[in-house]
Structure 1
Amino acid sequence: MAFSLVLTEASYKLRHQPSRFANATTVTKMGKISTAPSRSSYDYVIIGSGSAGSVLAGRLSEEGKNRVLLLEAGPSDQHIHIRMPAALPLPLANDRFNWFYNSEPEPHLNNRIILEARGRVLGGSSSINGMNWVRGSPWDYDNWSAMGLEGWSYKEVLPYFRRAETSDKGSSAYRGGKGPMQIETCKADSPLYRAFIKAGEQAGYAYIEDHNAYRQEGIHITQRNVGHGIRWSSSQAYIHAQPARANLDVVIKAKVLKIEFEGKRAVRVRARIDGKHFSIGVDKEVLLAAGAINSPQLLLLSGIGDAEDLRKLSIPVVQDLPGVGRGLKDHVAAPVQYRATKPVSVVGKLTRFGKLKLGLQWLIAKKGLGATNFFEVGGFLRTNKKHPVPNVQLEFVPLIGEMQHGSVALENGFQYFFSLMRPKSEGRVWLASADPDVAPKFVFNFLEHEEDRKEAIEAVRAIRNIVAQSAWNDVRGEEVTPGKNVQSDEDILAFLRKEAGTNYHPCCSCRMGTDSMSVVDTHAKVHGIENLRVIDASIMPAIVSGNLNAPVIMMAEKLSDDILGKKLPNEVADYYLPAAE
């Protein structure tokens, strides 16, 4: 999300542009998207329509037996800024579609406040993210299994990754060919992209044909969830593109206030929908899929969390679960930027005329620069051979941006944007108030752990080594950030404290497990509570090696089967692990 990070910080004006679709009722193949439920009770009430929620709505309603309600706090996703891949910075910078959460001052980042983008629109964060399709390393899921989480090994999750997608690489032991998510391989036809791949090989990193198959480690051409030239979000895949279903209600502008209980059993959901209050009955289960910030907030507001903290806010305790909101993780990230000596970056195509051409070509044919997300090449590296799998992700952007007088000045250049895959530092989410309209508080504690600081410094040095290769000789200009004078570990760390931030991948704040600090079991059921599951990135027991959209969609696919009493057969596929060193 490197391109978006700069533009989001600078685009305050865009937040207040009127959205001509914001108040619309949208008719899709699925049926009517409305601002009121059609029934007083449902079998399943799903809170949040993001990467998990839309999947759950689609799968639980597809047989026509269950009455399903999907509640989304934000507006419809049928907006050109969401549908056009190249427009990705615009919904990210618009508070109609983004919660625009701010962290508490980060103590190890010079007490800076970090903006955390979270989708507040149908499709959730899958409607405003960078569209990179990354499953993570197969090792991640075998690691979950090794942590004692039965049912979450690679052979058990692979069938659900495959079921979710239609990959342009075709159906195989690793890839799916008939799923709702449209996945395409980027074209990567720019000289900058070719230099990125060649330089990586010259630095000793293998070129990997498919980083979502046998081997993740190395340099690759990126895959993205774009289909037919448009963003293929979870809502596009599992709601808009599906046949009409009378048993599914999709309700937007629905702010959930609280889950209500009879004893330890979830029975109702209280919501404010388009300004009106509703109390919605639940006959089978509440499925909380509001994400790693909002899911712990709603549990706490509903009386599930650390009993002492709840009593301080005069919230009646339903279940004492001290792990709610604890263990928050994210991929800490930072850019390494270079000017280009030749006009080879995408900046030259983003003039006023260039943008007009881009927009017209996309509107007419859904092709051209408007159909790209700009993240067309990337990599997964081990900065130290002690790591069993890559510990750093590289995302590449064919331009650089600099804040000047409150706006972004785009420059001819390129940047490597790195993220730490398994940071040891962790934060938490907690309530600022018992009022559901008051945003929750959170802190990531980025770079708190010494190992994270060491890995981030190693990542900067690894990138510099790649950019020093001869493949970059024709276009490599001066290093803009950190800058050529930043050489010592101490100076690099000072740069990181000033510039590092989030890659918008929060997770692990309602962790799956069996210990006293876990929140849900391996079926995503909240400990000690009936008829309530949490299904989103918050329940990850450990952060995975890559972007979170694909893993969360997989989790929702798997858990929707679990809810329905089904299970796909295990699928065994080998994967690459480096020799022990």
Structure 2
Amino acid sequence: MQDLHGRKLKSVYDYIVVGSGSAGSVLAARLAESGQYSVLLLEAGKSDNVIYIKMPAALGIPLQDDKYNWFLHSEEEPGLNNRKVLEARGKTLGGSSSINGMNWVRGNPWDYDNWAALGNSGWSYKEVLPYFKRSETFDKGENQYRGGAGPMKIETCKAKGALYDAFIKSAMEAGYQYIEDANAYKQEGVHITQRNVHKGLRWSTSRGYIHAAGPKENLHVVTEAYAQKIKFVNKRADKLVVSIAGVEQEFHINKEIISCAGALHTPHLLLHSGIGDQADLKKVGVNVVHHLPGVGRGLKDHVAAPVQYSSIPGSSSAGKLSALGRLKIGIQWIFAKKGLGATNFFEVGAFCRTSEEVKVPDVQFEFVPFLGDFQHGKLKLSDGFQYFFSLMRPKSEGRVWIESNDPKVPPKFVFNYLTHEEDVKVAVAAVKEIRRVIAHDAWKPVRQNEVLPGAHIQTDEQIVAFLRDNAGTNYHPCCTCRMGSDEMAVTDHEAKVHGLDNVRIVDASIMPEIVSGNLNAPIIMMAEKVSDLILGKRPLAAADADYYKL
């Protein structure tokens, strides 16, 4: 067996990292940097050397097939009229950072102070901010909030066009404050977004931490390598069983195994390894290694739904995205890495509070300058614009489980979207708030008719019915192996699995609570921080930067 660079694999590694996504590529690179330890990075998918992964504007393509996407579906969602929801997860180097929307959002600083308040020492905002900074190179330069020399290249979107202008101006007319940098002092308000795109290329974690750094002698990266089961001697992880291009192989673990497989696949790996609720494991014929009932529990996601309007002909980007238009865009991007091919289209956004009683923004608006459906694996385009709102801190939660002892069988999961009355209330308020903003004068020159929910949908009951038919995921699953010290916590504040000697988890599954924004940047921060913990380094000094509080 060989790695990505044709080097023969060893039978023993100091550190084995499962999953090369937003956390895995970061951890593997940082652990290998010193040259002291051998590191094996395993990715179940193929290489990311693919044009529609590299090209930002092609982000919709991986959502439509299962070649570079696990293409998982939830079980029937009781709050969504028993619909099954597509949950796209990256199945390639870079994981979901190779197929996501590239929005660079840290979450609200309050989120991390809340993590610390829940008993997770070391995770307050001032303690994690240095790791956010270490991870990035921000195009507007380093300051007390932003990094200037990190592997992730972050650019501020250009946001040029009538629809982007109308989005910003209408929000300000509606009373929103314009925020220069929503990843700094204040999140609430309207802003031009930031994205992990550099010189026209998607800047995933695999690109920033693996490819850009070049080969390391002590780091072996293996694709088409599906981790099936961890074997234990007592409570110590001894071997990892991996299927590489269909051939089963075992690797010995000298120091630690670190699962970075994500909020759905990390519990899947643990459960098949005998780590989970013992009653559930016995039902499916898995030998119990360690009773840990929280594995797979507490699944959360940012439930989301679209509000769409048609616009005057030629006002949106839809006309440029015809078959001929896409060909021209592709040619320009291939030869110059410029033009529409270099955008992710999500160039403006906002965070708002739906009630004066809420102290931290509870809804995010993302925006695209055409009508299209990215949500269910489809892409249909026409003139118009779309506000895509997400609930930042949903109360509804689901779980991940297995119904077979065959690790090749995908995990089962359900989110239970909109099953908590508070989530329903906030979602209805979000629809009304978007309509309020769009009614302002800035939209008049280009706005036409409301497409979704539609002008005939007015009462709260009608809006709820619309949401149950149309709401879905913003592809942000988390919290299924959360940090904490209570009986349902799976990991401690250093990401170690409770009751096991040498197993850690570093991905969205260990979030104690979902954060107020997209998950990519927070997961990268977590991997940066935990890499120091693993290597026994002194934590970076806490920042002295403050943040906005009501």
1:255-404 equivalent positions in 2, closer than 5 A: 255-401=226-372
* 1:217 maps onto 2:217 in alignment: no
Match of 2:157 among 180, 183, 186: 186
C-alpha separation in 1, matches of 2:188 and 2:82: 34
Indicate if the aligned counterparts of 1:334 and 1:499 stay in contact, CA closer than 8 A. Answer: yes
Q: Which residue of 2 aligns with 1:481?
A: 452
Question: Could you say which residue in structure 1 is the equivalent of 2:36?
Answer: 65
CA distance in 2, matches of 1:365, 1:410: 25
Paired with 2:295 and 2:184, the residues of 1 have a C-alpha distance of 34
Judged with a 3 Å threshold, the aligned counterparts in structure 2 of structure 1 residues 279 and 438 are, in CA distance, closer, same or farther, namely same
1:250 equivalent to 2:221? Answer: yes
- How many residue pairs get aligned? The number is 546
> Who is 2:473 aligned against?
502
Give the SS at the match of 2:52. Answer: helix
**Amino acid of the residue matched to residue 415 of structure 1?**
Q
Equivalent AA in structure 1 for residue 244 of structure 2: I
SS of corresponding position for 1:410: coil
Does residue 575 (structure 1) correspond to residue 547 (structure 2)? The answer is: yes
Q: What is the aligned counterpart of 1:50 among 18, 21, 26?
A: 21
Asked whether the equivalents of residues 136 and 212 of structure 1 are also in contact (C-alpha less than 8 Å), the reply is yes
Could you list the structure 1 runs, at least 4 aligned residues long, displaced by more than 3 angstroms after superposition. Answer: 34-37, 406-409
Partner secondary structure for residue 89 of structure 1 = coil
State how far apart, in whole Å, the 2-side matches of 1:391 and 1:409 are.
29
* Distance (whole Å) between structure 1 residues aligned to residue 490 and residue 496 of structure 2: 8
- Seen in structure 2, the aligned counterparts of structure 1 residues 37 and 214 have a Cα distance that, compared at 3 Å, is farther
One-letter code of the match for 2:120? L
Q: Distance in 2 between matches of 1:275 and 1:576?
A: 52
Question: What are the superposed Cα offsets for residues 436-462 of structure 1, whole Å, 9 maximum, x if unpaired?
Answer: 111111000000110000000000000
C-alpha deviation, 1:320, in angstroms:
0.4
Measured after TM superposition, the shift of residue 228 of structure 1 is 1.3
Shift of 1:34: 5.5
Give the Å deviation of 1:352: 2.5
Counterpart in the other structure of 1:468: 439
Which structure 1 residue ranges, 5 or more long, are not aligned? 1-24, 26-31
How far apart are residue 243 of structure 1 and its match? 3.3
Q: Match for 1:152: what amino acid? A: W
- Segments of 5+ residues of structure 2 without an aligned counterpart are none
What displacement does 1:94 show? 2.6
Q: CA contact under 8 A between 1:304 and 1:317: conserved in structure 2?
A: yes
Contact 2:78/2:416, CA 8 A, preserved across alignment = yes
Contact 2:60 2:379 in 1 (8 A): no
Against the structure 1 CA distance between its residues 346 and 323, is the aligned structure 2 distance closer, same or farther, given a 3 Å change threshold?
same
Judge conservation of contact 1:35–1:273 (CA < 8 Å) in 2.
no
Structure 1: how far apart are the matches of 2:379 and 2:108? 35
Q: Distance in 1 between matches of 2:205 and 2:508?
A: 14
In the alignment, what sits opposite 1:130?
101
The residue type paired with residue 279 of structure 1 is E
Determine the structure 2 residue equivalent to 1:440: 411
In 2, are the aligned partners of 1:537 and 1:548 still within 8 Å (CA)?
A: yes
The whole-number CA distance in structure 2 between the counterparts of 1:408 and 1:84 is: 16
Deviation for aligned residue 1:93: 1.8
CA-to-aligned-CA distance 1:358-389 (integer Å, 9 cap, x gap): 11111111111000000000000001111121
Is contact 1:36–1:251 with CA below 8 Å preserved after alignment? Answer: no
Paired amino acid for 2:57: A
Counterpart CA distance in 1 for 2:280 and 2:324 is 56
Per-residue deviation, 1:276: 1.2
Report the CA distance between 1:96 and its aligned residue: 1.3
1:177 alignment partner, one of 118, 142, 148: 148
For 1:519 and 1:478, locate their aligned partners in 2 and report how far apart those are by CA, in whole Å: 49
TM-score normalized by structure 2?
A: 0.98
* CA distance in 2 between partners of 1:485 and 1:189 (Å): 33
- The correspondence of residues 23-42 of structure 1 with structure 2, limited to 5 A, is 33=4, 38-42=9-13
1:359 match: secondary structure: helix
Letter paired with 1:107: P
Give the 3-state SS of the residue equivalent to 1:298 in structure 2. Answer: helix
Contact 2:64 2:378 in 1 (8 A): no
- The answer to whether the 8 Å contact 1:264/1:529 transfers is yes
Cα shift at 1:351 = 2.0
Question: How much does 1:92 deviate?
Answer: 2.2
| Matching of residue 90 in structure 1 with residue 57 in structure 2 | no
Quick one: which amino acid aligns to residue 134 of structure 1? V
- Deviation of 1:148 after TM superposition, in Å, equals 1.0
SS in 1 for 2:546: coil
Distance 1:156 1:241, change over 3 A: same
Give the Å deviation of 1:33.
1.0
For 1:576, give the aligned amino acid: Y
Q: Structure 1, residues 454-503: CA drift from partner, whole Å, max 9, x if none?
A: 00000000000000000000011110000001000000000000000000
- AA aligned to 2:337 is K
Aligned partners of 1:541, 1:387: CA distance in 2, in Å?
20
Measure, in 2, the Cα distance between the counterparts of 1:375 and 1:362.
18
Task: Report how far residue 401 of structure 1 moved.
Answer: 2.9
Distance 1:176 1:191 in 2: 32
CA-based RMSD: 1.3
**Is the deviation greater in 381-390 or in 348-357?**
348-357
Partner of 2:334, secondary structure, is helix
